[in-house]
Amino acid sequence: MDDNFDALIADIERKKSEEERRIYSERTLKEAYNPRNVGKLADPSGRARITGPCGDTMQIDIRVEAGRISDCKFITDGCGASIACGSVVTELAKGERIEKALEVTEKDVLRVLGGLPAENVHCAALAVKTLRAAIGDYQCRSRNRSASEPEISA
């Protein structure tokens, strides 16, 4: 009985992974199963949380030092493709100047992943949109900080 059950589970697992390999690129599966930069930053320079049209949410935190994104983390309750996109978009942004990170596009994410099925392209859009919003939040915080700093007269 136990042997039959184990064989059944092994068969289901094998079919599932065959199906995934048929649909997703090797890189997408790698990023989805071993994502980089997962988590939240304590006291981030910028943070954004966006819910996409599918109802899934992504949050990205960035730390900015000397105009560069020194650290970047994401969390999502979305699909495997969104996990892969969060992993890639945070890697693309890390170490970049904020102006450069703002130029990261959905196409860049798709290129790194080797493409996604049409029904998952919005997952890349969600990741890019969230990164841009986190940078926007950082820029907004910076403006508010400099507006509230007292002017020093000579």
**Applying CB under 6 A, which residues contact ligand FES?**
52, 54, 56, 78-79, 81-82, 120, 123, 126
Q: Which is nearer to ligand FES, 57 or 142 (CB)?
A: 57
Q: Which is nearer to ligand FES, 44 or 80 (CB)?
A: 80
Kind of pairing, strands 68-76 and 46-51?
unpaired
Query: Which residue lies nearer to ligand FES by CB, 90 or 120?
Result: 120
Q: How far is the CB of 47 from ligand FES (least distance, A)?
A: 19
CB of 123 to ligand FES, least distance (A): 4
For residue 12, the minimal CB distance to ligand FES (Å) is 22
CB of 67 to ligand FES, least distance (A): 30
CB nearer ligand FES, residue 64 or residue 104: 104
